[in-house]
Amino acid sequence: MADIGFVGLGIMGRPMVRNLMAAGNTVTVYDIVGTAIEEMATEGAIPASSSSEVASKNPLIITMVPDSADAEAAILGANGVLEGASSGSIVIDMSSIAPASSQKIAAGCEGQGVDFLDAPVSGGEPGAIAGTLAIMVGGKKDVFDKYVDVFAPMGNSTYCGDYGAGNTTKLANQIIVAINIAAVGEALVLAKKAGLDPNVVFDAIKGGLAGSTVLNAKAPMMIEGNFNPGFRVRLHQKDLNNALQTAHELSVPLPFTALAQQIIGSLMNEGKGDADHSAIANFIEDMAGTKISG
């Protein structure tokens, strides 16, 4: 059990806080949306008025915000975590951001004697609720070893390497997920237009080599036409932007990632940024003039 500060109470942050409290931790929370703070306070969290206040009251601070700029503002900015943190504190940023931003934040923390880990997650809202997130951690190994038990109520953690390694691993994850979703969408559109029942096709292939966590999670959503967000299109766009930016810096061509990003860009232009990323299938459906559902 520990006193934990938590900044960021979005679709992922709220269930993560619930799991930390269920494990016996005392959690102080802050979000730029006041109603989110109020909601968690009714469930037993301690409300705070800023990221700085969260850090001043807790030696262990977790941040879970949408993007690189948000993470840098929450930790390095005015009224941010480092304004309230003390030497010897630990900041664990569980946001999915650019590796270079993680390294920038790490340098800022080190300058104040504060430990830092970048620890993005995979598993979406269902994984956050169930406490089964895959947590990819970058930073100093001794710091990871010291705080590894903190992750247990939220999921399974893996040490990936130095600062930024967690987010580089997350980018690899997001590349595979996006391209896999696109492949599932193409396969089910083909099956439907050929006159087959997508449910039967799904049942037939899920136990073979094509089987995957993505297939099991996203094919039923496509078949039902249910694109309620577990992980939003706009967030996957952000992750692929970071992947392509990092690839450019490393001179690594990512042609299939670039194509997936163009598909997601089309969905954004259609106003589907808040749909689940399984809506990548909508792009294939539109081109084929066939809906998987119905």
Q: Which residues are catalytic?
A: 170
The CA distance from 286 to 277, in Å, is: 16
The DSSP line for 148-185 is: HHHHTTTEEEEEEESTTHHHHHHHHHHHHHHHHHHHHH
Q: In angstroms, rounded to a whole number, what is the distance separating the alpha carbons of residues 52 and 151?
A: 22
Bridge partners of 156, per DSSP, are: 134
Nearest to 242 by CA among 144, 168, 145, 156: 168
CA atoms within 13 A on the CB side of 237: 18
Helices 68-76 and 99-110: angle between axes, nearest 10 degrees: 10
**How far is 86 from 90, CA to CA, in rounded Å?**
9
HSE-up of 128 (CA within 13 Å, CB side)? 20
Give yes or no for a contact between 15 and 23, defined as CB atoms under 8 angstroms apart.
no
Quick one: DSSP state of residue 191?
Answer: H
What are the two backbone dihedrals, phi and then psi, of residue 200, each rounded to the nearest 5 degrees?
-65, -40
Contacts of 107 (CB under 8 A, 6+ apart): none
Distance between start and end Cα atoms, the chain: 49
Beta strand segments in 133-265, E: 133-139, 155-161
